[in-house]
Structure 1
Amino acid sequence: MKRVLLPALAALMLSGTAAAQSEEMSFDAWRDGFRTELLESGARPETVAAMLDGLSADPRVIDRDGNQPEFVRPIWSYLGIAASDLRIENGRSAYAEYGETINAVAERFGVRAEILVAIWGLESSFGAITGNFDTVRSLATLAWDGRRRSWAEAQLIAIAEMIDEGYATREQLTGSWAGAMGQMQFIPTTYLERAHDWDGDGTRNIWTDIGDAVASAANLLVEEGWQAGAPTVVEVTLSDAFDLADWNPLTNRLVSQWAVMGVTPAVGEWHADDLMRSARLELPAGRNGPGFLTFPNFRVIKRYNNSTAYALGVAHLADRIAGGAAFVGDWPEGDVPLTRSQTREVQAALNAAGHNAGTPDGIAGPNTRRALRAFQRANGMAPDGYLGSAMYEAVTGRSLGD
């Protein structure tokens, strides 16, 4: 039976009212109230009992959800871990061991095999670390705590459907503290929508069946628009004459147009087949770091995890597993990204200067980068939108040491 899940928009909302209610509502009271909602969604009584009877909150989940790191890891540090020598070696070993299955999945779905191996590596270290949290308990804790109640309750309704349809047993439902499950770390709603039964045994076992896990990731990518045979990302260099005033990180241009503007591959030459492809130029560490032309497949990977660093990590690990070289460009390691509290200071200063960065929240999102680029243009700086220590001092007028 298909159940009506809560609207996707609600999953993105942070409800201050719900958070306040969690202080007044005991976990038992939330659980008893949600039991009624779960039954009304169409879940079988025995499934509801298996999920909720005797269930208690997990304090570890509250601690992890409420203590997000102040420090923001530089992208070069993240990529160094994502495509470390050990992970590359383990990826090649995993591909060699399961290559027959992975290649068959790749051919069936039209997704590059190394991309699937790289996602597998970043999500669960090739199946070695899938998480041992009780998924039901984790999501119930998040729902009761209130910050992501609508989202977490929608996931619990999806879990009930998984159990009722025989996709998983109650005991099988383990994963990360945040509710992601299996070797490819699917949340329950994504599991229902995208998980694939590769071997045709009637189950979609993303926990212990390599074929099902890899095929599920491939199916997700295809459903999000993966283009078979198309590139993902190419490292590039910019000529000294490249004018950042003509650049916007969301602008698509043909590779041939980027080439005329002074964008060249960091290694080798442009392939003739790629010159008429549409791509975006991204400078994740600003003008002084490596540049990348990113293609539609790059944004498909971001549908898996909406992070530029993650998508670069997947693409680069895939290339390294396939025998490719490390990135060529140097990262501006002396111009580190800001902490969240420092970012809030910059956002407030940008707002005060008339550049709308939005509500200061410590997250350097599109509005902040757009406002920073406006500030840079107004002050005769290269408008690359990179928020590091140098821009902190320029925007706030204070040294980080103050």
Structure 2
Amino acid sequence: MGLFERVTSNRTGAILIAAALLCSSGQSQAQSQAQSSGNGVSNFFGTIFSGQKVAAQPATPSPDGSPPPWSGEDGASGHPLMTASAIRQAAANFQNCVASMWPDAARRNITQQNFERFTAGLEPDLRIMDLMDSQPEFTKAIWDYLDILVNDNRLAKGREILAQYKPQFDAVEKAYGVDRYIIASIWGIESNYSTQVGDRNVVRSTATLACIGRRQAYFRDEFLTAIEILNRGDLRPEQMRGSWAGAFGPTQFMPTAFKRYAVDADGDRRRDVVDNVADLIASTANNLRKDGWQTGRSWGYEVVLPEGFNFMLADKSKAMTIAQWQSQGLKRADGKPFPDTTDKAYLLAPAGMQGPGFLMLQNFRVIMKYNPAEAYALAIGHFADRLRGGPPFVQPWPRQERVLSRAERLELQQLLAQRGLYKGTPDGQFGGQTREALRSFQASIGAPADGFASSDVLERLRGR
């Protein structure tokens, strides 16, 4: 929910981390505003593995410390609603657009008094247009981001949180059957344990996006739901601060996700996922449970791949039982037996033959529903394992590999397209289509078809 743009999913929190990581190799900013909605971890990982767009790192603030203004430029997406003239025209009509949503608000049982109260004085935040359509340049590899996200300081804080709120975690595990370490991991990665949740007004952000730009239909629902939350009294206006896409709270709920999953765990008749730890933990657990969490099961296993392994099998669509994977020569990296060989899993090999492999189970897919990026879910699962006392990954990452620039990623896709292997629109964002095309190219030249976009494979595509 969380290094990737989560405009189309529940959260945007981890997104903030990604942007922060881009401008610093030090402490991550798990929620600035770079996520799919702000700045985050989710955005970065989504770019590498899911083809999602990542929000830009924040621009330099004005000398007086105020947020930077809108650039006044066309958006990078090329969408007609993201041209500078369309943005200005929509901004000029902003007050009328907000007022036009009153009938829909009334159908949601929002009082006219509250609608007017919570929208009074709203002005569009046009800086969001730059964040929404940015095309950032990433210079870090997945292993660098995992190093930063799963670090000693965050692990220590996570263990403190688990001890401090043990009664709440006990109650939630009993009621929802969701692993406390996963919840604590999401909390830690999305907001660095409530220290980086974003500071944009959620109502203003969602109203801006509901009236301006290329995602108006989606954000109209988010805006009206944000008003519903305030009308019901679950949260106060000052509590609804978050990412530029509207995600708020320590585990980054979009307003519609709050509506679906938030619960009142302590019986005070408010669902407060911002300042009430019992509600926060229970609501996050309820989200995971409703998405299909399997109690007592792992998210997945680090595995060692045999020499000569057929990487065409490393595909989300090619799930097999653990027993079938074992017949392909896969073994757990820690040497332990698999608890249940009837479990179905798919293989993720994010660094190809040069890095570790992972068999992903149902609970991994559930984490991906929280944020649809494999690398985000990998970070959450691994962080949870470390919180419960598990070791780091056993196998090394190919840290010697140079990360391709965005221009090089775009060129790679274009070269694959020229060979008739890549059917998508080249955009510099790597997802399943790019990996499949890369595997086909690698196989055609007799190289291991692992789908890893190395500088060497780019040179081979160039024909040098």
Instruction: Evaluate the alpha carbon distance shift between residue 77 and residue 375 of structure 1 in structure 2; reply closer, same or farther with a 3 A threshold.
Output: same
Native 8 Å contact 1:289 1:330 kept in 2:
yes
Q: Secondary structure at the match of 1:281?
A: strand
Q: Secondary structure at the match of 1:280?
A: strand
**Which residue of 1 is the match for residue 45 of structure 2?**
none
Match of 1:343 among 398, 409, 423: 409
C-alpha displacement at 1:52, in angstroms?
2.5
Match of 1:18 among 76, 81, 97: 81
1:32 and 2:96 matched: yes
C-alpha displacement at 1:56, in angstroms?
1.5
Aligned length: 389
Instruction: Evaluate the alpha carbon distance shift between residue 294 and residue 246 of structure 1 in structure 2; reply closer, same or farther with a 3 A threshold.
Output: closer
**Which residue of 2 is the match for residue 182 of structure 1?**
249
Instruction: Evaluate the alpha carbon distance shift between residue 338 and residue 145 of structure 1 in structure 2; reply closer, same or farther with a 3 A threshold.
Output: farther
Gaps of 5+ in 1: 1-6
Structure 2 Cα separation of the partners of residues 250 and 332 of structure 1: 26
TM-score (norm. length: structure 1): 0.91
C-alpha displacement at 1:165, in angstroms?
2.2
**Which residue of 1 is the match for residue 372 of structure 2?**
306
1:319 and 2:385 matched: yes
Native 8 Å contact 2:183 2:285 kept in 1:
yes
Structure 1 residue identity aligned to 2:342: M
Instruction: Evaluate the alpha carbon distance shift between residue 193 and residue 283 of structure 1 in structure 2; reply closer, same or farther with a 3 A threshold.
Output: same
C-alpha displacement at 1:397, in angstroms?
3.4
Structure 2 Cα separation of the partners of residues 295 and 208 of structure 1: 33
**Which residue of 2 is the match for residue 4 of structure 1?**
none
C-alpha displacement at 1:54, in angstroms?
1.4
Structure 1 Cα separation of the partners of residues 128 and 101 of structure 2: 23
Structure 2 Cα separation of the partners of residues 203 and 140 of structure 1: 24
Native 8 Å contact 1:15 1:146 kept in 2:
no
Question: How does 1:323-402 map onto structure 2 within 5 Å?
Answer: 323-397=389-463
Instruction: Evaluate the alpha carbon distance shift between residue 337 and residue 31 of structure 1 in structure 2; reply closer, same or farther with a 3 A threshold.
Output: farther
Instruction: Evaluate the alpha carbon distance shift between residue 146 and residue 96 of structure 1 in structure 2; reply closer, same or farther with a 3 A threshold.
Output: same
Q: Secondary structure at the match of 2:101?
A: helix
Native 8 Å contact 2:186 2:251 kept in 1:
yes
Question: How does 1:208-227 map onto structure 2 within 5 Å?
Answer: 208-227=275-294
Structure 2 Cα separation of the partners of residues 231 and 264 of structure 1: 16
**Which residue of 1 is the match for residue 184 of structure 2?**
117
Structure 2 Cα separation of the partners of residues 263 and 304 of structure 1: 28
Q: Secondary structure at the match of 2:324?
A: helix
Structure 2 residue identity aligned to 1:18: L
Structure 2 residue identity aligned to 1:331: W
Structure 1 Cα separation of the partners of residues 155 and 413 of structure 2: 38
Instruction: Provide the identity percentage.
Output: 36
Question: How does 1:137-176 map onto structure 2 within 5 Å?
Answer: 137-176=204-243
C-alpha displacement at 1:128, in angstroms?
2.0
Structure 1 Cα separation of the partners of residues 403 and 111 of structure 2: 49
Q: Secondary structure at the match of 2:302?
A: strand
Structure 1 Cα separation of the partners of residues 183 and 176 of structure 2: 11
Match of 1:287 among 353, 361, 364: 353
Structure 2 residue identity aligned to 1:126: Y
TM-score (norm. length: structure 2): 0.79
C-alpha displacement at 1:176, in angstroms?
1.7
Structure 1 Cα separation of the partners of residues 218 and 291 of structure 2: 21
Structure 2 Cα separation of the partners of residues 187 and 109 of structure 1: 21
C-alpha displacement at 1:15, in angstroms?
8.8
**Which residue of 2 is the match for residue 84 of structure 1?**
151
**Which residue of 2 is the match for residue 265 of structure 1?**
332
Q: Secondary structure at the match of 2:389?
A: coil
Superimposed CA distance per residue, residues 51-70 of structure 1 (whole angstroms, 9 cap, x where no aligned partner)? 32211223443343343421
Structure 1 Cα separation of the partners of residues 313 and 349 of structure 2: 14
Structure 1 residue identity aligned to 2:260: E
C-alpha displacement at 1:387, in angstroms?
1.6
Structure 2 residue identity aligned to 1:19: M
Deviates more, 1:290-299 or 1:234-243: 234-243
Deviates more, 1:306-315 or 1:33-42: 33-42
Gaps of 5+ in 2: 1-7, 10-51, 53-76
Q: Secondary structure at the match of 1:25?
A: helix
Structure 2 Cα separation of the partners of residues 243 and 31 of structure 1: 58
Name the Cα RMSD after superposition: 2.3
Structure 2 residue identity aligned to 1:153: R
Q: Secondary structure at the match of 2:93?
A: helix
C-alpha displacement at 1:245, in angstroms?
4.3
Structure 2 residue identity aligned to 1:325: P
Structure 1 Cα separation of the partners of residues 230 and 93 of structure 2: 24
Native 8 Å contact 1:15 1:147 kept in 2:
no
Deviates more, 1:234-243 or 1:163-172: 163-172
Native 8 Å contact 1:35 1:48 kept in 2:
no
Instruction: Evaluate the alpha carbon distance shift between residue 275 and residue 148 of structure 1 in structure 2; reply closer, same or farther with a 3 A threshold.
Output: same
Structure 2 residue identity aligned to 1:335: E
Question: How does 1:46-125 map onto structure 2 within 5 Å?
Answer: 46-71=113-138, 73-125=140-192
Superimposed CA distance per residue, residues 189-242 of structure 1 (whole angstroms, 9 cap, x where no aligned partner)? 101011111112111101101111111111111111111111111111111142
Native 8 Å contact 1:39 1:48 kept in 2:
no
Instruction: Evaluate the alpha carbon distance shift between residue 38 and residue 334 of structure 1 in structure 2; reply closer, same or farther with a 3 A threshold.
Output: farther
